[in-house]
């Protein structure tokens, strides 16, 4: 995860409380709280400004006192124009402010500020209740992670894509999946976009072990299509059948009518056809902030979920910054529109009356409400179910 809170670079203090021993530093606390902060934990006077993109808004005092519970030290407050204080933590020489992102480009002064006492802050009953809620949710998150960790060794994960074994999206997906089980990667040796659900029937499929930038991953390149990767990977390469197949993260959306051409989705369809749970992941081009923020959350939600017989999960991350993202929209239907209207341009005329054409789709932003394409165009993460043949 890319951090933006003040002091993240040096936030390396260890926990002093055995109850929180699984949170090794403030950055890991931020990771967990980023999935817990919500409108309810926001200070009431600031709730009209809270959003998932501005998730630290109104969270400062309850977060700082919870961080004090875990790492010790003192809580200080930056005086604000409205007479309130913005709380942050100081542990020895380490200064960190887990909720500083709400101020955007404003530079706060973290020197010479008064100490903040929880006894004074928690005289407000609503603030004490918000603190207790945040603490309880964190403890439940830790207990859930412990149970998942105990089960990780039994989860077998196969990952493929259509952008090729060296694609950056594949590396990011494999890295995120490692915490959920044993990861095997079998991906095309080169890009195989738009190969849909095709497989090799009259030519051999060559598979080679490869070095992979994520330690602990079993990785192989395959000369075939993404669907071939799923077939040969699950049947012949892995020493056991996968529990779940992940496909992606694709370079570009796989929504609407594009799904029928997508080899990313085609690989997920092949996995479902072989009897495995399957999830396809795709993202907009060039901006990964939203993917980095929500990928782990959605993996945790879907990795053990069953989309139903003949169905897969399809996830698309929007091409926007985190600040522009509205959050996650689930149960999105497949749009019957298309991101690029079909068209071809004539490249040249060939001998014998032949003509050479090239695909020349025209970009458009037309999509029905409640659909996958409408969600990403509006800056939301789209999660939906797509039907395979049945």
Helix (H, G, I), strand (E, B) or coil at 41: coil
First and final C-alpha spacing in the chain: 39
DSSP string, 313-361: EEEEE-SS-TTT--EEEEEEBPPSS-SEE--EEEEEEEGGGEEEEEE-P
CB atoms within 10 A of CB 351: 5
Q: From residue 206, how far is each of 76, 155, 159, 201 by CA, in Å?
A: 61, 27, 17, 13
User: If one looks up domain 159-387 in CATH, what number appears?
Assistant: 3.40.1210.10
Peptide bond into 249 cis (omega under 30): yes
pTM above 0.75?
no
- 314 contacts 372 by C-beta, under 8 angstroms: yes
pLDDT by position in tens, the chain (length 390): 578 899 999 999 999 977 887 898 999 999 999 988 998 899 999 999 998 889 999 999 999 999 999 999 999 999 999 999 999 999 999 999 999 999 999 999 999 999 999 999 999 999 999 999 999 989 887 876 655 555 555 689 999 998 899 999 999 999 999 989 999 999 998 777 666 667 777 888 899 999 899 988 999 999 999 999 999 999 888 878 899 999 989 998 888 877 887 889 999 999 999 999 999 999 998 889 899 999 999 999 999 998 988 899 999 999 999 999 999 999 998 888 777 777 788 988 999 999 998 887 777 777 788 998 999 999 999 999 999 765
Where are the chain's structural domains?
A: 8-150, 159-387
């Amino acid at each position: 995860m890319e951090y933006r809170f003040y002091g993240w670079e040096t936030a390396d203090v260890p926990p002093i409380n055995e109850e929180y021993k699984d949170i090794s530093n403030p950055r890991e606390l931020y990771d967990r709280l980023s999935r817990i902060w919500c409108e309810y934990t926001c200070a009431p006077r600031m709730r009209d400004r809270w959003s998932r993109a501005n998730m630290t808004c109104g969270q400062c005092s309850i977060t700082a006192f919870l961080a004090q519970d875990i790492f010790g030290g003192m809580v200080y407050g930056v005086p604000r124009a409205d007479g309130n204080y913005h709380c942050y933590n100081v542990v020895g020489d380490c200064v960190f402010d887990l909720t500083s992102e709400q101020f955007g480009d404003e530079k706060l002064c973290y020197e010479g500020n008064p100490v903040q006492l929880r006894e004074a802050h928690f005289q407000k009953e609503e603030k004490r209740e918000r603190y207790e809620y945040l603490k309880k949710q964190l403890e439940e998150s830790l207990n859930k992670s412990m149970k998942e960790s105990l089960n990780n060794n039994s989860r077998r994960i196969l990952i493929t894509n259509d952008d090729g074994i060296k694609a950056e999206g594949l590396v990011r997906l494999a890295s995120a999946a490692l915490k959920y089980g044993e990861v095997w990667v079998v991906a095309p040796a080169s890009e195989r976009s738009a190969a849909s659900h095709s497989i090799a029937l009259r030519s051999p499929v060559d598979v080679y072990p490869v070095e992979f930038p994520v330690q602990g991953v079993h990785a192989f390149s395959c000369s075939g299509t993404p669907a071939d990767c799923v077939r040969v990977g699950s049947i012949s390469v892995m020493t056991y059948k996968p529990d779940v197949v992940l496909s992606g993260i694709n370079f570009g959306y796989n929504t609407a009518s594009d799904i029928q051409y997508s080899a990313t989705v085609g690989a997920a369809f092949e996995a479902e056809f072989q009897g495995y749970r399957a999830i396809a992941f795709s993202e907009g081009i060039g901006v990964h902030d939203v993917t980095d923020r929500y990928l782990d959350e959605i993996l945790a939600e879907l990795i053990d979920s069953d989309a139903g017989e003949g169905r897969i999960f399809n996830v698309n991350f929007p091409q926007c910054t985190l600040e522009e993202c509205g959050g996650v929209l689930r149960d999105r239907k497949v749009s019957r529109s298309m991101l690029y209207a079909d068209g071809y341009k004539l490249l040249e005329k060939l001998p014998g009356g032949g003509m050479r054409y090239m695909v020349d789709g025209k970009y458009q932003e037309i999509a029905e409400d409640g659909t996958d394409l409408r969600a990403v165009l509006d800056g939301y993460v789209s999660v939906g179910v797509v039907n395979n043949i049945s």
